[in-house]
Amino acid sequence: MKNDIDSKFILSVFEKIREKGERKGEGYLLGGVTAFSDFDGYTIFMEDQLVKLRFGFHNQYHFDYEKDEHMAQFEKKLKAIAKDY
C-alpha cells in the first residue's frame, strides 16, 4: 500500500485527538488512536495496536505496520476522527 497522506490532515487529526481525547499518560486517546509528541514537540506520534506513525520535521513521516489491511484500518480511524470529532 502506498503511504501518501496529507501533512495537514495528519496535523489536524493530531490536534483533534489532543483537544478531545482522553488523557493517557503522556498522550491522548480518541477513536482508538493514541497521539503524543516528543519532549520538544518537533516529532509527533499516532498509533493504534497495529500501526505506528512518526511524523517529524519538514513533514517527513514513517508508518510501521505488518499488513496492508492494518494500515487500511488505521487510515479509516484517522478519517473517522477527522470527520466525527
What are the distances in angstroms from CA 42 to CA 37, 52, 57, 64, 84?
7, 17, 6, 19, 27
| CB neighbour list of residue 45: distance below 8 Å, 6 or more residues apart | 27, 35, 36, 37, 38, 52, 53, 54, 55
* Element holding 36 (H helix, E strand): strand 33-37
Q: Which tens digit of pLDDT belongs to each residue from 43-77?
A: 999 999 999 999 998 889 999 999 999 999 999 99
Mean pLDDT computed over 6-20: 95
Domain range annotation of the chain: 7-76
Cα distance between residue 7 and residue 85, in whole Å = 19
Whole-prediction pTM: 0.90
